[in-house]
Amino acid sequence: MYRSHNNGSLRASDINTEVTLSGWVQKSRNKGFMIWVDLRDRYGITQLIFDEERTPKNMMEQARTLGREFVIQVTGTVIERSSKNPNLPTGDVEILVSKLTILNKALTPPFTIEDETDGGEDVRMKYRYLDIRRNPVKNSLIFRHKVAMEVRKYLSNQDFIEVETPYLIKSTPEGARDFVVPSRMNQGQFYALPQSPQTFKQLLMVGGMDKYFQIVKCFRDEDLRADRQPEFTQIDCEMAFVEQEDILNVFEGLTRHLLKEVNGVEIEKFPRMLYDDAMRRYGNDKPDIRFGMEFGELNDVAQHKEFNVFNNAELVVGIAVPGGNSYTRKEIDQLIDWVRRPQVGALGMVYARCNDDGSYKSSVDKFYDQDDLAKWAEVTGAKKGDLICVLSGDTNKVRAQLSALRMELATRLGLRDPKVFAPLWVIDFPLLELDEETGHYHAMHHPFTSPKPGQLELLATDPGAVKANAYDLVLNGNEIGGGSIRIHDKKTQALMFDYLGFTPEEAKAQFGFLMDAFQYGAPPHGGLAFGLDRLVAILGGQETIRDFIAFPKNNSGRDVMIDAPAAIDEEQLQELNLKLRK
Amino acid sequence: MYRSHNNGSLRASDINTEVTLSGWVQKSRNKGFMIWVDLRDRYGITQLIFDEERTPKNMMEQARTLGREFVIQVTGTVIERSSKNPNLPTGDVEILVSKLTILNKALTPPFTIEDETDGGEDVRMKYRYLDIRRNPVKNSLIFRHKVAMEVRKYLSNQDFIEVETPYLIKSTPEGARDFVVPSRMNQGQFYALPQSPQTFKQLLMVGGMDKYFQIVKCFRDEDLRADRQPEFTQIDCEMAFVEQEDILNVFEGLTRHLLKEVNGVEIEKFPRMLYDDAMRRYGNDKPDIRFGMEFGELNDVAQHKEFNVFNNAELVVGIAVPGGNSYTRKEIDQLIDWVRRPQVGALGMVYARCNDDGSYKSSVDKFYDQDDLAKWAEVTGAKKGDLICVLSGDTNKVRAQLSALRMELATRLGLRDPKVFAPLWVIDFPLLELDEETGHYHAMHHPFTSPKPGQLELLATDPGAVKANAYDLVLNGNEIGGGSIRIHDKKTQALMFDYLGFTPEEAKAQFGFLMDAFQYGAPPHGGLAFGLDRLVAILGGQETIRDFIAFPKNNSGRDVMIDAPAAIDEEQLQELNLKLRK
């Protein structure tokens, strides 16, 4: 037996008992006649003491050799500490060691195993097993486990059944790029790893499973943007005999449960916002509503003057930055530079200071008088002491630009408090999205999403206007979940594939099994999927997902710890009937 | 809202309430003036009634069109049934329908949606979504969910943390064959899908995670034997600072919990058996101990007579078949044919009848007298009325053959009661296994298994004799779990790789990250993995795993429903820098 207790468990009530502990040497203080060692494990830290009076000489010698991260086992007596540490749950006691065994030595770790480490991202990832010893990473993984358990408990109590769907499925070129898996037993053929279990969960609804969920890995072979992973985890859910309202209620309940159990935050009813309103008011389909700074559309009050930049713009839109009048000219110039960075892409920014005396001072005073600017302030909700920032251009672009600015300013102003949770349903998403490169429409959510009743006809005349029974759950400016009511009849599904440019043959080859299934009694159904990595990070008050994933990949899709991917043997390639191109 | 209740919930206490139900038409009985429809969903069946007196004429017409598996929604009043059905929880009531909506029509299903279906395996798999509507499959999937939930609850309560390990890892040619995934972003390189998260869970122990579990898909590209799947699910577990005893206790606790919660069976203490004893007594490392028929080794009492078949054999071994003396000569001849089938491979079988008068009659009376045969009876434990079956030959082969015969006879005799649960730990497995084809030893469990203390030295002189801290959990003759205490120091691990024929370069290329990790303070650790598919099937009283998997693959690794694997586009191959060989 390696231990009688863990290193987080001993208290004053244990004094005088003999215990055996195991763990890592966090640090050791050697005062010559006395040595203290902090012994660490997942559960905490317990202080060990060796001293010349009470410790045999050879054990003192051995204790002096203990380096950081050595793995040791000790037996000893729990005694009262002379100087207690109120910051440590075990801080009232220490162990007078009577037996010391070095279980494994350790090289000096390449970075310190402390909450604030001196290790950079790259070295931490290469030695991720050491990084995981650090509290911030360890606690993030434990937190993730807790969230996942609460999800399972909640859904299971609501009669959801977790069903495992297959990982080796079929490639469908539509949508994002699949990872493929060559089949040895069926040469020349490939499996694909699922981008999501979408069609399988729909088949489970056709199969009468009624309420399904699964916490499941999904795969996308995309060029990785920052903070994206080629493999990621979804809480995938589907329900039969439901309308949008039923789904929103169930998953609002789940999210409310998580906020309460995991964060101790109670939120009554989640607000809902139409997609069109979200775009108009925040320039974004996942608005962060922890703070205001809503968009004010200024076309009516800023166009038809002499300022042609605005006159030629499809949209002139501004936000009021609280207290922004205190910015120096230099700071404002830096803001202008910020929106002109290629990542944001604005051509420039107009601003108006709202002075404390009620007057305005703008960068376009030549074109706009005080009355004009007062209207700007009214539309953007700017108050004395604020700064109005105005962008103009094509509606879609300028909204994205101003949204980026809004988020940046809110971050700078400390308005994005990670302890505040502001969930929001965004509903009535468009069914289709115009691909500006090809000029074709494609499914905004996926080709299985049903248009709103009666809107199918619009497809022929005004495809961009067709709304879908599709919804996203947004938390603090992040999409944490999204879903839709699905098509459940073969005719509509065939129409949709046709509209999206599938030939009937392609539709049959790729999704024939689903359309067949719809002929054998498919119930109305719909669902939602949460991105677990993101959800956990946000609940954990973090912006990046990486430390909530035990072994993440870097932006090139590499695992730098195990050094994957890697070349494989020629023999393996031969068995798979494959050759590398030159 | 599609329903106010589900189809399993209405009782006599609901009489006179108006309800809305949705579901599938299980069947319909049309008596002309009256139509009864059984409406089915996951939760049960509720009877609907339409009659000429109370139902509007056009609805009667519509009700007559309802075919099997139509999806309908009805509103109506709960009324008392005139002839109650005590076999149905809802059997006291029926619904007098006031509103009928056909939500979706259905083609006639290709097989009946009944507990006993007329559909063969192939058609059931092609239309698996219909097969899942059948109670046996549906209930198996719900049962699986329940088992998985109980596993998670139990382990989580014991401070285990579920950590997700990556699916895109590195190929290691050692062991079974990997499925590989070509990387587009790292051309010419491949990920592999994990055969198990073995190295990652060990790294989590090095990382101080202390107690880890994960219910996780694993992948093996093997030529499929019956009832094996290329993707399968493990309950994967690992613990730090443990000895074998700790692990056996924890996972015995888990299994006991499952037997109690899921099967209502309480089992106090699981017996333990040495691997060597299991092989000697049952010819098998996963003995079914629900029944006796233990092996009796007959070398001492059957050799050194005139019968050269036995004299030349390495092992002469028999079992007593209870009541087997009642077999006719023809039946015994059929048994002999059975053991001579290529799948079993015995050359022949000697038998001795134990007559009710205490005399014996054997197939080798020429060589053995009554006293000899009495000794056979004593050694095999045969009683009056039994039949002694004796095989001989090379020890390993003859044990496997007699074990097969023992299991076959037990099945025929009804001794393998699926409601009886007989768990068993088999411990002290050999570290190495001789590959008879190559003459090389390889790791019996895997190369990370530690030899028993002090046995490492035996590797040089008697490798086959080295025992490991390795153990299997056996349930009713099936291995449901297995594991070991791992090597946790670099030197031993390097020695092991060397012994297994890895060059230092190969060991470093494939497992360098693990050996590096062992240098930075690796704790003693060990673990175990359960095969969830098999575990669930056995707890569910079934021999085959297929109906406990929602969408299984066939023996060629194909999903016949979605028709995967399949060819992929030339464009996809090009992006991956791959070419098919001719």
Q: Give residue-wise pLDDT tens across range A461-476.
A: 898 899 999 999 999 9
Q: How many Å apart are CA B68 and CA B105, to the nearest integer?
A: 9
A535 inside domain: yes
Among B364, B380, B412, give the residue marking a domain's end: B412
The Cβ-side half-sphere exposure at B555, using a 13 Å CA radius, reads: 5
Q: Do B132 and A199 touch (CB under 8 A)?
A: no
B353 with B457, same domain: the answer is: no
- End-to-end CA separation in angstroms for chain B: 57
B376-405 pLDDT per residue, tens = 999 999 999 999 999 999 999 999 999 999
Decide if A406 is inside a domain: yes
Claim to verify: residue B451 and residue B493 sit in the same structural domain? yes
Sign of the alpha-carbon torsion through B337, B339, B345, B347: negative
pLDDT at B441 (0 to 100): 86
Structure tokens at A101: 């065994």
Out of B208, B224, B551, whose CB is closest to A24? B208
User: Looking at CA atoms only, how far is residue B332 from chain A in angstroms?
Assistant: 41
Please give the C-alpha separations between residue B309 and each of B305, B368, B404, in angstroms, as whole numbers. Answer: 10, 13, 21
Count of A-B CB contacts under 8 Å = 365
The confidence score (pLDDT) of residue A442 equals: 87
Q: What are A331-369's pLDDT values in tens digits?
A: 999 999 999 999 999 999 999 999 999 999 999 999 999
**B168 CA: distance to closest CA in chain A (Å):** 8
Q: Do B246 and A1 touch (CB under 8 A)?
A: yes
Report the residue of chain A nearest B44, measured CA to CA. A208
CB contact under 8 A, B562 and A170: yes
Task: Please give, rounded to a whole number of angstroms, the shortest distance from the CA of A49 to a CA of chain B.
Answer: 21
CA distance A262 to A255: 10
- pLDDT value for B212: 98
In A, which residues are within 8 Å of B6 by CB distance?
210
DSSP 3-state of B459: helix
User: Are residues B441 and B526 located together in one domain of the fold?
Assistant: yes
The partner residue sitting opposite B231, judged by closest CB among A106, A133, A167, is A167
Q: What is the mean pLDDT of residues A486-495?
A: 94
Instruction: Determine how many CB atoms are found less than 10 A away from the CB of residue A121.
Output: 11
For residue A106, give how far its alpha carbon lies from the nearest alpha carbon of chain B (Å): 4
Pick from B50, B83, B104: which residue ends a domain? B104
Q: Between A2, A200, A569, which is nearest B242 by CB?
A: A2
CA–chain centroid gap for A263, Å, is 16
* Alpha carbons B225 and B556: distance in angstroms, whole number: 10
Is 90 exceeded by the pLDDT of residue A437?
Answer: no
Residues 6+ apart with CB under 8 A from B256: B266, B267, B270
pLDDT at residue B174 in the model? 66
- Alpha-carbon span A538 to A417, nearest angstrom: 11
- A390 and A366, same structural domain? yes
Is A132 within 8 Å of B521 when comparing Cβ atoms? no
Q: In this structure, are A384 and A437 located in the same domain? A: no
In a domain? residue B364: yes
| A211 and A296 part of one domain | no
Provide the 3-class DSSP secondary structure of residue B277: helix
Peptide bond into A565 cis (omega under 30): yes
In whole angstroms, what is the distance from residue B468 CA to residue B426 CA? 12
Provide mean pLDDT across the span A34-61: 96
Under a CB-based contact definition with an 8 Å cutoff, are residues B431 and B468 in contact?
yes
Q: How far is B103 from chain A (nearest CA, A)?
A: 7
CA B115 to chain centre: 22
Same domain, B399 and B478: no
The domain that contains A87 carries what CATH number? 2.40.50.140
The enclosing H or E element of A426 equals strand A423-427
Contact A189 B131 (CB under 8 A): no
Residue among A184, A210, A513 whose CB faces B561 most closely: A513
Q: Are B186 and B241 found together in one domain?
A: yes
Cβ-defined contact of A148 to B162 (cutoff 8 Å): yes
> Which of A167, A519, A561 has the CB atom closest to B513's CB atom?
A561
Query: Which one of B131, B144, B524 has the shortest CB-CB distance to A103?
Result: B524
Predicted local confidence at residue A223, as pLDDT = 83
Which tokens go with A305? 């003057």
Domain assignment present for residue B506? The answer is: yes
Element housing B579 (H / E): strand B578-580
- Measured CA to CA, the distance from residue A63 to residue A97 in angstroms comes to 10
Closest B-chain CA to A522: B104
Q: In what order do the strands lie in the sheet with B525-531?
A: B161-162, B211-219, B231-240, B525-531, B478-485, B470-475, B423-427, B272-274
pLDDT of residue A174: 66
For range A106-134, the mean pLDDT: 95
The strand pair at A211-219 and A161-162 is best described as: parallel
Interval B426-451 mean pLDDT: 90
Mutate to test the interface with B, among A107, A123, A129, A571 (most CBs of B within 10 A): A129
- Best residue in A153, A228, A241 for a mutation probing chain B (most B CBs within 10 Å): A241
Question: Comparing B155-169, B246-260, B448-462, which segment has the lowest mean pLDDT?
Answer: B448-462
A478 within a domain of the structure (yes/no) = yes
d(CA A32, CA A102): 20
Mutation site for A-interface testing, chosen from B126, B129, B138 by largest number of A Cβ within 10 Å: B129
Q: Which residue in A211, A568, A571, A573 has the most chain B C-beta atoms within 10 A of its own C-beta, making it the best mutation to test that interface? A: A568
CB B195, CB B219: distance < 8 Å = yes
Which residue of chain A comes nearest to B490, CA vs CA? Answer: A104
Q: Is the pLDDT at B253 greater than 90, yes or no? A: yes
SS3 A503: coil
- For A162-195, b/e burial (b = at least 16 CB within 10 A) is bbbbbbbbbbbebeebbbbbbbbebebbbbbbbb
pLDDT at A440: 84
Instruction: Sort out which chain A residues have CB atoms less than 8 A from B119's CB and list them.
Output: none
Is there a contact between B69 and B55 (Cβ–Cβ < 8 Å)?
Answer: no
DSSP secondary-structure letter at B39? E
| Nearest Cα residue to B429 out of B306, B311, B278 | B278
CATH of the domain at B304: 3.30.1360.30
Residue to substitute from B123, B559, B568, interface A, most A β-carbons within 10 A: B568
Q: For the domain that residue B212 is a member of, what is the CATH number? A: 3.30.930.10
Domain assignment of residue A519, yes or no: yes
Q: Which two tokens stand for residue B210?
A: 């202390």
Using CA coordinates, name the residue in chain B closest to A519: B106
Instruction: Specify the pTM.
Output: 0.96
Test A104 with B182 for CB contact under 8 angstroms. Answer: no
Tokens 């049959």 belong to residue:
A508
On the question of pLDDT at A499 being above 80, the answer is: yes
Residue in B25, B23, B98, B4 with CA at minimum distance from that of residue A524? B23
Tokens of residue B87, six digits: 């076999």
CB-closest option in A162, A522, A569 to B104: A522
Q: Rounded distance, CA A337 to CA B421, Å?
A: 73
Last residue of a domain, one of A412, A441, A462: A412
- Vertex A56: Cα angle to A53 and A59 (nearest 5): 120
pLDDT of B326 reads: 96
| Residue A200, both tokens | 């399988």
B582 within some domain: no
Partner-chain contact A163 B181, CB within 8 Å:
no
Q: Across residues B511-537, what is the average pLDDT? A: 97
Tabulate helix, strand, coil % of chain A (nearest 5): 30, 25, 45
Q: Distance between CA A393 and CA A311 in Å, rounded?
A: 10
Supply the mean pLDDT for chain A: 95
Question: Which among A189, A223, A575 is the nearest to B566, CB-wise?
Answer: A189
Q: Which residue of A has its CA nearest to B532?
A: A164
φ, ψ (nearest 5 deg) of residue B209:
-70, -15
Chain A residues with CB inside 8 Å of B245's CB? 1
Rounded Cα distance, B125 and B131, in Å: 7
User: What pLDDT sits at residue B424?
Assistant: 98
Residue A94 tokens read as: 């220490």
The pLDDT confidence band at residue A26, using thresholds 50, 70 and 90, is very high
- Which is nearest to B562 in space by CA: A184, A500, A166? A166
Chain B residues in contact with A575 by the CB 8 A cut-off are 177
- pLDDT at residue A225, as a whole number: 73
Q: Measured between alpha carbons, how far is A291 from A462 in angstroms, rounded to an integer?
A: 35
For residue A349, give how far its alpha carbon lies from the nearest alpha carbon of chain B (Å): 38
Q: Do B3 and A40 touch (CB under 8 A)?
A: no
How many whole angstroms separate alpha carbon A250 and alpha carbon B60?
36
Cβ(B499)–Cβ(B459) below 8 Å? yes
Q: Cα–Cα distance between B405 and B213 in angstroms, integer?
A: 38
Per the structure, the count of domains in chain A is: 3
Q: Do B166 and A231 touch (CB under 8 A)?
A: yes
For residue A79, list its beta bridge partners.
Answer: A94
Tell me if A283 is assigned to some domain: no
- Joined tokens for residue B173: 């040619």
Whether A279 has a pLDDT exceeding 80, the answer reads yes
If you search the block for the tokens 């248009």, which residue do you land on?
Answer: A451
pLDDT digits (tens, 9 = 90+) for A68-116: 999 999 999 999 999 999 999 999 999 999 999 999 999 999 999 999 9
A431 shares its domain with A406: no
Q: Which residues pair with A485 in a beta bridge?
A: A526
At residue A261, the pLDDT reads: 96
Phi, psi of B253 (to 5 degrees): -60, -45
Q: Is the model's pLDDT at A227 over the cut of 80?
A: no
Instruction: Find the CB nearest A241 among B3, B241, B522.
Output: B3
* Inter-chain residue contact B241 with A168, CB threshold 8 Å: no
> What ipTM goes with this model?
0.95
Residues of A in contact with B197 (CB under 8 A): none
Same domain? B224 vs B315: no
Rounded to a whole number, what is the distance in Å from the CA of A172 to chain B's nearest CA?
9
Distance, CA of A354 to CA of A351 (rounded, Å): 10
Residues A251 and A321 in one domain: no
Query: Rounded mean pLDDT of A181-187?
Result: 94
pLDDT surpasses 90 at A558: yes
Identify the pLDDT of residue A456: 85
pLDDT-wise least confident of A110-119, A309-318, B401-410, B451-460: B451-460
User: Which residue in this structure is represented by tokens 């099997």?
Assistant: B68
Preferred mutation among B69, B181, B239, B489 to probe A, highest tally of A CBs within 10 A: B181
One domain for residues B210 and B90:
no
DSSP string, B113-128: -SSS-S--HHHHHHTH
Give percent above pLDDT 70 in chain B.
Answer: 100
Tell me the shortest Cα–Cα distance from A377 to chain B, in angstroms.
45
| Range of the structural domain that residue B63 is part of | 12-104
**Is B203 in contact with A231 (Cβ distance < 8 A)?**
no
Asked whether the beta carbons of residue B168 and residue A242 sit closer than 8 angstroms, the reply is no
